[in-house]
Copies of this chain bind each other. A is one copy, B any other.
Amino acid sequence: MGYLNCSKEALAKEKEALLKAYESYKAQGLSLNMARGKPSPEQLDLAMPMLDSIHSAVECSAEDGLDCRNYGELEGIFECRMLFSDLLGVNPDNVFVGGNSSLNMMFDAITTFMTTPLYEDTTPWLNVPDRKFICPVPGYDRHFGITGFYGFEMIPVPMNSDGPDMDVVEKLVSSDSSIKGIWCVPKYSNPTGITYSDEVVKRFAALKPAAKDFRIMWDNAYCIHDISDTPDTLLNLMDECEKTGNEDLPVMFCSTSKVTFSGGGVAAMAASKYNMDFFKRRYNFATIGFDKVNMLRHTKFFKNFDGIKAHMAKHRAILEPKFNVVLEKLTSQLADAEIASWTNPNGGYFVSVNVLNGTAKRVVELCREAGVVLTGAGATFPYGNDPDDSNIRIAPSFPSVEELTKAMDIFCVCAKLAAAEKLS
């Protein structure tokens, strides 16, 4: 029954039934969590053999003979840079391997721009009082957290099904030199799960920013995180930027947080020689080197890019059924009501649901009261402000299929109940 066009009486009856269903779920005292993009224990188990990959002192040597247990090798061991060069599609010379968190590397990159001018004639961003950052919405809350912490005015730009609205991005970037960058999750975007089209990537590569020190924060978090026989493909931004002479525009990031361990993976960044030299001038004082034993553990476990891809197929086998549960429940329980829309991603970690405008907060509240924790409504927007109060990010990875089935039943009831309340 479409809620928007049905009779008042029919809606009242529906609401009553929903309330009854909701109360019965509530009475079960459940505790289910679809809030964060956390791998499940079964996914983490896949990488357990990695912890057994180094036993003897001789196994602690990198391929070039370096003792990974000791100091040195600021940029990370070469075989690990090679691995990330495959993941990011760039030359290993342009790769820097860091600690366990790509978010931390992004934070460090923005911090570097805050304190240190990228060019002789530019200003550290801390001293650009009206500094601004473009935030495609819905987007990743922790990206917005970084630019929020550093006092940027965050400009939301709509995400389309093929990436950010590039008409808006181009206009903003070319006209305002206080706009210093844009956050991107180009493949299986957080949260909508879409992948930027070739045209969008080409338009990114062709940007003509008013700010000489404008940078594209290209967070390729889900570069190999397919869950479908028809995975998305992403055009290589660095290649495109080389064609346009814009290779200094992007700074790229990825990690093994959702490949091996979220709490003990390896992260990397990649950028042009100019940018890398800039970052390395700072890293040279910031550390003697990141954890090389963990880099080695990863390269010994995966051996090469094919090894990672084979490993990701195991993740897919665990994740795909969970995404299917979410999508089946949304379709079977929400489609008729015509009060919500959602994405159907080929990979990544999220399904993005737009519930009836003005009800997202209420849906999250209803769910929480029934024991189902969701990402806070609005979290996918800068300042937590979703002007339509509509977007909810669903993270299916952590709960079991059984838990997810129940949680989605509750979610769908809550989405309908909140809509019925709103429309009554």
Chain A interface residues toward B at CB < 8 A: 36, 38-39, 41, 44-45, 47-48, 51-52, 54-57, 60, 67-73, 99-101, 103-104, 107-108, 111, 114-115, 124, 126-127, 142, 145-146, 148-150, 257, 261-264, 281-282, 284-294
Q: CA separation between A168 and B257, bound complex, in Å?
A: 49
Selected contact of A57 from candidates B38, B41, B67, B68, CB within 8 Å: B41
Assess the A288–B103 pair: CB atoms within 8 A.
Answer: yes
Who on chain B is nearest to A98 by CB? B99
Query: How many angstroms from the CA of A281 to the CA of B150 in the assembled complex?
Result: 12
Residues in B with CB closer than 8 Å to A72 are: 263
B71 lies within 8 A of A44 (CB): no
Known: A52-B55, A69-B263, A115-B115. 9 other contacts (CB 8 A): A36-B71, A44-B69, A45-B57, A48-B57, A70-B261, A99-B99, A101-B290, A145-B284, A145-B285
One of B45, B54, B281 near A51 (C-beta < 8 A): B54
Q: Which residues of the partner chain B approach A293 to less than 8 Å between Cβ atoms?
A: 51, 261, 263-264
Contact B67–A287 (Cβ < 8 Å): no
B residues near A38, Cβ cutoff 8 Å: 70-71
- Asked whether A107 lies within 8 Å of B285 as measured between CB atoms, the reply is yes
User: Shortest beta-carbon distance, A281 to chain B, in Å?
Assistant: 8
- Contact indicator A285/B126 (Cβ below 8 Å): no
Taken together as a complex, chains A and B put the C-alpha atoms of A101 and B52 apart, in Å, by: 24
Also in contact, A285 and B71, with CB within 8 A (given A48-B56, A294-B264)? no
Q: A41–B68 contact, CB under 8 A?
A: no
> How far apart are the CA atoms of A281 and B114 in the complex, in Å?
17
Q: Which residues of B contact A100 (CB under 8 A)?
A: 99, 290-291
Q: How far is the CB of A268 from chain B (nearest CB, A)?
A: 15
Question: What are 23 A-B pairs with beta-carbon distances under 8 A?
Answer: A36-B71, A38-B70, A39-B70, A41-B57, A44-B57, A45-B57, A48-B57, A51-B54, A52-B52, A69-B262, A69-B263, A71-B262, A99-B290, A99-B291, A103-B287, A107-B285, A114-B115, A115-B126, A126-B126, A149-B281, A149-B282, A149-B285, A263-B289
Chain B residues whose CB sits within 8 angstroms of the CB of A108 once the complex forms: 286
Chain B residues in 8 Å Cβ range of A288? 101, 103, 142, 262
**Min CB–CB distance A199 → chain B (angstroms):** 33
Q: Which residues of B contact A261 (CB under 8 A)?
A: 69-70, 293
The closest CB in chain B to the CB of A59 belongs to: B51
Chain B nearest CB: distance from A296 CB in Å? 9
A120 → chain B, closest Cβ, in Å?
15
Complex: chain B residue closest to A260, CB-CB: B69
Determine how close the nearest CB of chain B comes to the CB of A217; give it in whole angstroms. Answer: 14
- Smallest CB separation, A358 vs chain B (Å): 29
Is B263 a contact of A71 with CB atoms below 8 Å?
yes
* B-chain residues with CB within 8 Å of residue A44 when the two chains form the complex: 57, 60, 67, 69-70
> Which B residues are in CB contact (< 8 Å) with A57?
41, 44-45, 48
Minimum distance in angstroms from A85 CB to a CB of chain B: 21
- Alpha-carbon gap, A257 to B288, bound state (A): 11
Specify which chain B residues have a CB less than 8 angstroms from the CB of A287 in the assembled complex. 101, 103-104, 107
Which residues on the B side are within 8 Å of A101 (C-beta)? 287-290
A304 CB to closest chain B CB, in angstroms? 22
Contact of A263 among B48, B68, B111, B263 (CB under 8 A): B68
Complex: how many Å from CA A146 to CA B114? Answer: 16
Tell me the complex Cα distance, A291–B286, Å: 18
With both chains docked as a complex, state the minimum distance between the C-beta of A212 and any C-beta of chain B, in angstroms. 20
Q: Decide: A70 and B262 in contact? CB cutoff 8 A.
A: yes
Chain B residues within 8 Å of A263, by CB: 67-73, 289, 291-293
Instruction: Note all chain B residues with C-beta closer than 8 A to A114.
Output: 115
Q: A51-B54, A51-B55, A149-B285 are in contact. Are A264 and B104 (CB under 8 A)?
A: no
| Least CB distance, A359 to chain B, in whole angstroms | 29
Please indicate the chain B residues that have their CB under 8 angstroms from the CB of A56 in the complex.
Answer: 48
